[in-house]
Amino acid sequence: MHDHDPSTLAADLDFVKALAAEASAVALGRFRGVTPQEKTNKSFVTDLDHDLEQFIRERLGQRFPKDRLTGEEYAEAGGGGPRRWSIDPIDGTGNMVHGLPLWAVSIGLLDQGEPVLGVIVIPPLGEMFWAVKGGGAWRDGERLLVRDADTFHVQDNVCVGTNALRAVDPRSLPGRLRDLGSACCEMTFVVAGRLQACTFLGEAAHDVAAGAVIAAEAGCHFGTIDGHVLSPTELVANTPVARPTFVAPPRRLAALMAGARLYSGD
């Protein structure tokens, strides 16, 4: 892939951070009064998801008319250029609907398929994470780098999404198992050291587009249960995630990939 000078994306990053902050404020003002509906896949969607995605698309479209616009709730729109925005207006809608304060707004930018910019804001926590390729990963004003180890301590938090929990034998995983119900929260929490790894299965491009660049810039790698190490580009390209896939610092990732097993039998 082509090299990126992070400074070329500085103005874009400032714009998206301001947009994410605005979206966060809208979400915090409305989330207690949302009207949930079931989608065809039985997941929840709310009026807030729809309104926020339209708001974010409108702003991005005005600022970047050549770029393609994609997201969770609406069809592709925008221009025909090499850059594509991937939007998840509320990641963790089920948590939000039930009052569980772990949900996020995610805006990622892909350039010729490569994740190059990501901003994730977690409104209930008042936190914003961001990265551009080559520029490091940040939470608010603090640069974040993951700490690695050859093994997992019994008290290390290893996150496993619902789909992955039903596919991976949990006895083959180390540490204390968690499922937070929001891929964006999970990836940023690995970056922040709150989790030591997370595990995906079934996540869509908009779930991981922003998180992939944030996690990679913090030192995380990506790998599948059957031994394939993935670049951030490959992680996003191979969505929905078809095989249980781990996000962790490289040595911890190797330990997970060596030990984890799928359920056998049923």
Residues 175-234 pLDDT 10s:
999 999 999 999 999 999 999 999 999 999 999 999 999 999 999 999 999 999 999 999
Task: State pLDDT tens for residues 18-48.
Answer: 999 999 999 999 888 888 888 777 678 888 8
pLDDT tops 50 at residue 1: no
Residue 10 sits in a domain whose CATH number is 3.30.540.10
In a domain, 264, yes or no: no
Both tokens of 121, joined, read 């804001």
Number of other CB atoms surrounding residue 99 within 10 Å? 9
Residues 213 and 91 in one domain: no
Among 211, 188, 166, 207, residue whose Cα is nearest residue 177? 166
Rounded average pLDDT over 7-14: 94
User: What's the total number of domains in the chain?
Assistant: 2
Domain edge (last residue) among 85, 110, 144: 144
% of the chain beyond a pLDDT of 70: 97
Residues 136 and 191 in one domain: no
Query: Would you state the pLDDT for residue 265?
Result: 63
pLDDT tops 70 at residue 3: no
Q: Which residues are annotated as a binding site?
A: 72, 88, 90-91, 207
Domain edge (last residue) among 119, 144, 169: 144
Residues 228 and 109 in one domain: no
In a domain, 1, yes or no: no
Domain of 140? 6-144
Q: Which residues are annotated as a binding site for Mg(2+)?
A: 72, 88, 90-91, 207
Residues 53 and 164 in one domain: no
Contacts of 1 (CB under 8 A, 6+ apart): 112, 114, 231, 233
In a domain, 266, yes or no: no
In a domain, 104, yes or no: yes
Task: State pLDDT tens for residues 53-74.
Answer: 999 999 999 999 999 999 988 8
pLDDT tops 60 at residue 2: no
Domain edge (last residue) among 115, 144, 173: 144
